[in-house]
Structure 1
Amino acid sequence: MTGNQTAEGPKHKRDLTRRKVVVAGGAAVVAVGAGSALAMTASADETGSTTARPTSSSGSSGAEVCYRLTSETTEGPYYIDADKIRRDITEDKEGIPLTLDLKVVDSETCKPIADAAVDIWHCDALGIYSGYEDASTGGGGTPPTGAPTGAPTDTPSGTPTGEPPSGAPTGGTGGVHEEPTDDERYLRGTWRTDRQGRVTFRTIFPGWYRGRCVHIHTKVHVDGEWTDAGYEGGHSCHTGQFFFDEESVLASAEVEPYSTSTTERTTLTEDTIYDQSGAAGGLLKLKYNRKNIAKGVVGSLTMGVDPEATNTGGGT
């Protein structure tokens, strides 16, 4: 893996003028090959949201659907580089089972990207990140015995002096990378895309923490080499985040241990990272029993990336 890196900023907007595609519904674009055509139809999934699906017209068996470049976002302070090569990242964490089905494609050629290394990492049901349990801003359950109560009785005086600590987690904008504070590595993992560019992870539905909506972080690494030790070399062509619609989050909040959280929740529309662009911005398509989300959720997304680009998601 390439190690922890920095780049220009948290929101790297990509220029699409060189890509010969037509935007359809803000989520996908249709590539029309010689002698073939595709049409887009709308249908409702189990969450009630409308999604665009490709349907082929006569003679279109060779055509494919291309996707807009998936939004680049901040890496955040809690990334740990390729520490666990595995598909099941749950360990012993409690929460709603989540299967994450991803596909990585070249957004210009529409071809799947095989042998890429895909990282995902996220907080637990109460907003805590492994490796950073002391620094995370989540919380839940009953306050510890002896915890201070009430308002402070003394009023601070004077003007603060000196520089603020660098990289302090803010919850809202990500911040620069922080070195791990403990050896825990739950809810983190890296796995290899297959010949169709697909990769599947098993985890839990994330919780939330101060200043952020519910989300999962991701990176896509290409041009490296898979060895017995894992993935080495190459570069990060995409750093992004996956997001969950409000209906699913509200449903999860009724299930333990999410229901014990004492942290104020930020909604999807209030979030400072999600760019409101649907699937292109990382919004997952979700399937689950609307009467019993506790049985589990399947989230899927096709990520359109530029394998020639370098996007490390650094900055504050």
Structure 2
Amino acid sequence: MTETQPPKHKKDLTRRRVIVAGSAAVAATGIGAIAVTTASAGEETAAQRAAAAKAGGGKATTKATEVCYTLTSQTTEGPYYIDADKIRKDITEDKEGIPFTLRLKVIDSESCAPVKAAAIDIWHCDATGIYSGYEAVGSGGGGAPGGGTPPTDAPTGEPTGEPPTDGGGPGGGGGGGGHEEPTDDERYLRGTQLTDKKGFVEFTTLFPGWYQGRAVHIHVKVHVDGKLTDSGYEGGHTCHTGQFFFEEAAVLETESVEPYATNAAVRTTLTQDTIYDQSGVTGGLLKLTYKKKNDIARGVVGTITVGVDPDETNDGTSL
């Protein structure tokens, strides 16, 4: 995907750069919508507050100094990104694993209005920690997955070895924070779609596996102001680069399901992860719902609202 620099805007960007976290945030009823008190929010009418909350999927606040506001944390791109050239909803191809539906809503972080026609680009590893396009790297950068004794419970102590600093792919893969050229033509568990007029998009994929040094995650990029072509999504700019994370209880349940049970890599928890900022929804933590109660193998749905600043450029290469 090619990009052009966004035009300059005269909006007040100071308030838009605030990251919602800690006691200042008040959870709303939507998937990820948040009401937050800010000194610079100014006086708003009840109608304005109600409209903003409705657009963001949240509940209208009654205080004049509170506004519907979310700005999702930016993270590094990592070394294993491949341009948005697979426009599709179902990205599983022939991979095996727990069915996973990812439902996203993308909103403007100032107005909470839906961002329509944004290209949402996701990619993640398979159940054994392998990224398509980089199969030669192996799981955890140490060769083919499998072997050893699969984990049966939460990890204890600290993982052995240094975690990767690139935040993107298996440790030891030579990433070093920079982009790595693909080693093969595989493109499973990668795909791009445009948001609809209400800012929604849905992907059909698999619950990701793990590799040493990183908690279970899905990468995401949000591109705006471009267009679809025969080659994929072209032009515009990337306004958000981030990662989605999974609650620890759900990840533990996957360990007894094939082919996750064959993954013997040392697993990193959310609290140990060097990329997840521990801020919950704002940091990319998904809300998970099982398709059948107490049976993760039947499938999982993950939902989150992603607050972005469409005027900014955040391609994840400078973090």
State the distance in 1 between where 2:70 and 2:92 align.
Answer: 31
C-alpha displacement of 1:175: 1.9
What is aligned with 2:86? 84
Are 1:233 and 2:235 an aligned pair?
yes
What is aligned with 2:157? none
Give runs of aligned pairs for residues 116-135 of structure 1, distance below 5 A.
Answer: 116-135=118-137
What is aligned with 1:34? 45
Q: Which amino acid aligns with 1:34?
A: T
State the distance in 1 between where 2:102 and 2:169 align.
Answer: 30
What is aligned with 2:297? 294
Q: Residues 175 and 315 of structure 1 are in contact (CA less than 8 Å); yes or no, is this contact kept in structure 2?
A: no
Percent of residue pairs identical: 63
Q: Which amino acid aligns with 1:303?
A: V
Aligned partner (choices 209, 220, 223) of residue 222 of structure 2: 220
State the distance in 1 between where 2:114 and 2:214 align.
Answer: 31
What is aligned with 1:310? 313
C-alpha displacement of 1:240: 0.2
Q: With structure 2 as the length reference, what TM-score do the two structures score?
A: 0.75
State the distance in 2 between where 1:313 and 1:106 align.
Answer: 19
Which has more radius of gyration? 1
Q: Residues 16 and 71 of structure 2 are in contact (CA less than 8 Å); yes or no, is this contact kept in structure 1?
A: no
C-alpha displacement of 1:227: 2.9
Evaluate the alpha carbon distance shift between residue 89 and residue 174 of structure 1 in structure 2; reply closer, same or farther with a 3 A threshold: farther
C-alpha displacement of 1:170: 2.9
Give runs of aligned pairs for residues 11-160 of structure 1, distance below 5 A.
Answer: 16=15, 23-25=25-27, 28-30=33-35, 34-36=45-47, 54-55=58-59, 66-138=68-140, 140-142=145-147
1:167-189 Cα distance to aligned partner (Å, 9 max, x none): 99636997210000001000000
Q: Which runs of 5+ in 1 are unaligned?
A: 6-13, 39-52, 59-63, 144-166
Aligned length: 264
Evaluate the alpha carbon distance shift between residue 223 and residue 171 of structure 1 in structure 2; reply closer, same or farther with a 3 A threshold: farther
Aligned partner (choices 194, 205, 210) of residue 208 of structure 1: 210
Are 1:244 and 2:246 an aligned pair?
yes
What is aligned with 2:161? none
What is aligned with 1:2? 2
Q: Residues 224 and 235 of structure 1 are in contact (CA less than 8 Å); yes or no, is this contact kept in structure 2?
A: yes
Are 1:263 and 2:265 an aligned pair?
yes
Q: Residues 33 and 305 of structure 2 are in contact (CA less than 8 Å); yes or no, is this contact kept in structure 1?
A: no
Q: Which has the higher helix share?
A: 2
**What RMSD in Å do the two structures reach over aligned CA positions?**
3.0
Q: Residues 171 and 212 of structure 1 are in contact (CA less than 8 Å); yes or no, is this contact kept in structure 2?
A: no
What is aligned with 2:54? none
Q: Which amino acid aligns with 2:46?
A: G
State the distance in 1 between where 2:230 and 2:44 align.
Answer: 41
Evaluate the alpha carbon distance shift between residue 297 and residue 65 of structure 1 in structure 2; reply closer, same or farther with a 3 A threshold: farther
What is aligned with 2:151? none
Q: Which has the higher strand share?
A: 1
C-alpha displacement of 1:131: 0.3
Evaluate the alpha carbon distance shift between residue 254 and residue 171 of structure 1 in structure 2; reply closer, same or farther with a 3 A threshold: farther
C-alpha displacement of 1:33: 5.3
Q: With structure 1 as the length reference, what TM-score do the two structures score?
A: 0.75
1:183-222 Cα distance to aligned partner (Å, 9 max, x none): 1000000100000011100000000011000000000000
Q: Residues 66 and 304 of structure 1 are in contact (CA less than 8 Å); yes or no, is this contact kept in structure 2?
A: no
1:101-159 Cα distance to aligned partner (Å, 9 max, x none): 0011001011100011010000000000000011143453347xxxxxxxxxxxxxxxx
1:281-307 Cα distance to aligned partner (Å, 9 max, x none): 000000013421000000001000000
State the distance in 2 between where 1:305 and 1:56 align.
Answer: 20
State the distance in 1 between where 2:198 and 2:125 align.
Answer: 29
